[in-house]
Amino acid sequence: METIVDQPKTGVSFDDFVAARSTALWRSAYLLTGDRHKAEDLLQAALVKTWRRWERLDDRSSETAEAYVRRALVTTYTDWWRRRWRGEVPTADLPDAAGTSDESTRVDVRRDVLTALAALPRGQRAVLVLRYFDDLTEQRTADTLGVSVGTVKSQASRAIAALRSSPALTDRLPGEPS
């Protein structure tokens, strides 16, 4: 009788993957949450979920593993939102930033973009982050979110339209008087 031996799975180790991709994944988590500390928590939760299933992944190439973690980021982010207590409302007024006017302008633009992103529904926000910040194709974005390409296109279109009409960004649009 012939014994069938499982072939060892090839690909990067979990430690190597985290060392190589954690900064880029943290940026995505930050854009989803809008908060550094929540982004760290979100990334950690997604990496824990991934680590638990790492040995069961058929293909542990860096690209496949990253897609798995991005999917975990989005689903964890969505789960957190569903469970979130909504009694606390953060203030819209931020303290003035110290520094040069160029630095001040950069901080203002960043705050306005994050405010506009935060106003989007979670699905639209996830599509924008994956599609335009992470530079994924429509197909990869759809695969990551578990939706159709048409949904990605329509969500991106609606999100961009919402950003264009966002009060936080209205003064920042090119060609418009400030």
* 122-173 pLDDT tens trace: 999 999 999 988 889 999 999 999 999 999 999 999 999 998 888 877 766 5
Here the tokens at position 63 are 């690209």
Name the one residue in this structure whose structure tokens are 């705050």: 111
Q: 62-83 and 14-33 helices cross at what angle (nearest 10)?
A: 40
Neighbours of 141 (CB within 10 A): 27
Position 172 scores a pLDDT of 61
Contact 152, 127 (CB under 8 A): yes
Per-residue pLDDT of the chain (178 residues; tens, 9 = 90+): 444 444 445 678 888 889 999 999 999 999 988 889 999 999 999 999 988 888 877 666 667 888 889 999 999 988 876 655 555 556 667 655 555 557 777 888 888 888 888 899 999 999 999 998 888 999 999 999 999 999 999 999 999 999 888 887 776 655 544 4
- What pLDDT score was predicted for residue 158? 94
Which amino acid belongs to residue 51? W
Check residue 155 and give its pLDDT. Answer: 95
Q: Is the pTM of this model over 0.75?
A: no
Q: By C-alpha distance, which of 71, 19, 20, 2 is closest to 42?
A: 71
CA distance 79 to 136: 23
DSSP secondary structure, 39-102, as one string: HHHHHHHHHHHHHHHGGG-S-B-HHHHHHHHHHHHHHHHHHHHHH--------SPPPPPPS-HH
DSSP string, 116-132: HHHTS-HHHHHHHIIII
The pLDDT of residue 44 is 93
Q: Mind listing the domains of the chain with CATH numbers?
A: 11-87 (1.10.1740), 99-167 (1.10.10.10)
Three-state secondary-structure class, residue 135:
coil
